[in-house]
Chains A and B, each alone.
Chain A
Amino acid sequence: MLTFTVRKVAVLVGTMLGLAALTFLITNVAPGDPARLVAGPDATNDMVETIRQEYGLNRPLYEQFAIYMGDLLTGDLGRSIVSTRPVLDELARYVPATLELVLVAMALGILVGVPFGMLSAVYKDRFLDQVTRIFSISGVALPAFWFGILLQLFFAVRLEWLPVSGQLPLTELPPEPITHLLLIDSLLHGQFETFRAALSHIILPAVVLSFPCLASILRVNRAEMIEVLQSDHIVAARAHGISSSRIVMIYALKNALLPTLAMIGLRFGWMLGSTVLVETVFDWPGIGLYAVSSALASDFKPVVGVTLVIGFFFMMTNTLIDLAYAWIDPRLRRS
């Protein structure tokens, strides 16, 4: 297991390097002047020239690449034109909010998707199953931004149960950061009012973000459970007198978990990408919103930064899932 882990981590590192190279490619292969791209559309020609000198954009490509990689490895992701602050600092500020949102959404997706997928498989073709099937297929088709707007309209405006946007109401002060995750920090400080406020703010965006993930997890889990329940070793287990509930919960679920895990990994990626949409709709102060506002302002460096961060999180999750795969299925440990 150890060599397997080491190998996977090595792949992770390699991919991150490759990703950095890819972002370099995007910046330089894109039509248009890279210096102008960095300087922004409002820059004068002189400013563009200064940028060109400063960033060494007149040097040969491979030199630029070396500088670029060097910068990245020291954590220099450039500066944002709009705020003039280093991109790295701004990322550090915005990542926790996105992280919190994604974690809550993921938890929702798994905690609802897996059990309902199981139930759907066991009660196949009955009413529950039909409902969940429709739900799971529409869940993926639902445009996240549209869904978010509708939920806002309904729950926040019409019913006024939940706030429209943001992470905390303006009247609340955020707790002293320990984990930088609002929900956990407010609990750790015992500030229950803050916790309640933060919770009510996170519900709608988390639901919207989790929806396609939930739907997919439900589908895959249901499909895999159905298939496993028909497999030979389940027949044998029944023949040996093992109870149905045990068969479903332990035997079948363990076997069905693998493709479900794979789907979780896939959906996590889509979810990370969807943060740009959900954070825009709900004014959630995370890296998604940061990327969008930067892109609209033609501020390119932050966009690259966000892409790298998202890529990193995605890759790391995939690596963790690969490790989990090998832990669950001993047959995979050799590869």
Chain B
Amino acid sequence: MTALLNIDNYRLDIPTFDGVLKVLDGIDITLEQGDTLGIVGESGCGKTVLARSILGIGPRNAKRVSGHIVFDSTALDELSEADWRRVRGVKISMIFQDPMTYLNPLLTIGRQLSDVIAAHYRAQGKSAPGRAERHARCERLLEQVQIADTQRVLKSYPHQLSGGMRQRILIAMALAGEPKLLIADEPTTALDVTIQAQILKLLRDLVDRLGLTVVMISHDVGAIAALSRRVAVMYAGTVVEQGMAESILTRPRHPYTRGLLAALPDIEGDAQPLESIPGTIPNLINPPSGCRFHPRCLRATAICRQEKPETRSVGADHVVACHHAYD
């Protein structure tokens, strides 16, 4: 089965006043249809830049140095604006972290939703449906994300609704074009814990019901674990470990993944001192040579400083990029 999404050795640079940020350094990610992939990593590891680059809405002055992103046999790097309109929202959709700032504060929800619907029609060369039809579709979309009071919500402005409601609306907007792939960039980070659970459950339902393929990006390992079947761990612009969630979360092989999981406070059991990974994330203008994690790694040796580790398979659907992976 050919992969739905294939990111192949993707390198991205962003020029800044202080120098060139080597934000993504050879990302390899594969995703099959119907899969759920969680990309986990600390702030600054490049996961949001990656997500946005997939949809072509990354930083304006970013430069692709090498590599490709291929979706459903279409190379996404060479698309024109007109082509993108047929992809965005229609084939690939995205939901964002803070629904307050990602919704236009001056337009009603109904207006924003129906604009998205109309845009999809136009992108496919068909004329936009009439008001009644659009209204009906809006209602169906809201029902799909389990919003009950559709009439009231459609007439409301974003600031009049709760955070959880706004996130559902963003999801509804993302689903308007019936996309195959949904990218969720920190969808739960800005929400209260109880609402987080609701949204994750909703996403789970959508995956089961609609056969949606989801890429979820988060620094919250718990959220990733709740939704994703497969996981990719990112550090400083590289993928250090990728594979089945169960495998990675129970038996992490990469020192960074180990440190990340060990740092999670354990609510069960006796109170123990919190473990943390020594050091800080590296400067991306002058990243560490060889393996980018080596300055903070307890298992680092000379080769880690000299050579960037190759990605090796360590089990069924479990790969690691490390010279001294755990067994």
Contacts and interface: CB of A to CB of B under 8 A. Distances in A.
B118 to A, nearest CB: 9
Given A233-B104, A240-B116, A331 B159 contact: yes
Interface residues of A, number: 21
Interface stretch (A172-180, A242-250, A259-267): A242-250
Given A238-B88, A255-B104, A331-B157, A243 B122 contact: yes
Contacts of B120: 241
A231 B104 CA distance: 10
Interface stretch (B170-178, B272-280, B300-308): B170-178
B174 A240 contact: yes
A113 to B, nearest CB: 21
Nearest to B92: A239
Interface stretch (B93-101, B240-248, B261-269): B93-101
B104 A239 contact: no
A60 interface: no
B98 to A, nearest CB: 7
Nearest to A239: B94
A236 B102 contact: yes
Contact of B157 (A238, A251, A330): A330
A235 interface: yes
Contacts of B96: 232, 235-236, 239
B-side interface size class: 35 or more
Contacts of A232: 96, 98, 101-102
A330 B105 CA distance: 8
A233 B116 contact: no
Interface in B82-116: 84-90, 93-94, 96, 98, 101-107, 115-116
Contacts of B103: 233, 236
Interface string A105-122: 000000000000000000
B116 A254 contact: no
Contacts of A89: none
Interface string B67-95: 00000000000000100111111100110
A244 B88 CA distance: 12
A54 B191 CA distance: 74
Interface string B248-270: 00000000000000000000000
A233 B102 contact: yes
A238 B96 CA distance: 13
A241 B123 contact: yes
Contacts of A238: 57, 88
B55 interface: yes
Nearest to A233: B104
B57 A246 contact: no
B223 interface: no
The dominant DSSP class at the A interface is helix
Interface in A187-234: 231-233
B119 interface: yes
Nearest to B176: A240
Contacts of B119: 240-243, 246
Given A239-B93, A240-B176, A254 B106 contact: yes
A329 B105 contact: yes
Contacts of B101: 231-233
A243 B177 CA distance: 14
A53 to B, nearest CB: 61
Contacts of B93: 239-240
Contacts of A328: 106
Contact of A251 (B87, B104, B170): B104
A237 interface: yes
Contacts of B102: 232-233, 235-236
Contact of A254 (B84, B107, B157): B107
B195 to A, nearest CB: 19
B113 to A, nearest CB: 10
B74 to A, nearest CB: 15
Contacts of B157: 330-331
A235 B96 CA distance: 10
A21 B248 CA distance: 78
A246 B114 CA distance: 13
Contacts of A241: 84-90, 116, 119-120, 123, 177
| Residue among A231, A242, A329 facing the most chain B CB atoms (10 A cut-off) | A242
Interface string A153-169: 00000000000000000
Contact of A240 (B86, B98, B107, B173): B173
A240 B84 CA distance: 10
B123 A236 contact: no
Contacts of A236: 94, 96, 102-103, 170, 173
Contacts of B106: 254-255, 328-330
A233 B103 CA distance: 5
A233 B134 CA distance: 21
Nearest to B84: A241
A330 B102 CA distance: 17
A236 B51 CA distance: 13
Contacts of A235: 52, 57, 96, 102
21 contacts: A232-B101, A235-B96, A236-B94, A236-B103, A239-B55, A239-B174, A240-B89, A240-B93, A240-B173, A240-B174, A241-B87, A241-B90, A242-B115, A243-B123, A244-B81, A251-B107, A254-B104, A254-B106, A255-B104, A328-B106, A329-B105
Query: Which 3 pairs from chain A and chain B are nearest by CB?
Result: A241-B89, A241-B88, A232-B101
Interface of B: 52, 55, 57, 81, 84-90, 93-94, 96, 98, 101-107, 115-116, 119-120, 122-123, 157, 159, 170, 173-174, 176-177
Given A243-B122, A243-B123, 7 more contacts: A239-B88, A240-B88, A240-B116, A240-B119, A242-B116, A329-B106, A330-B157
Interface of A: 231-233, 235-244, 246, 251, 254-255, 328-331
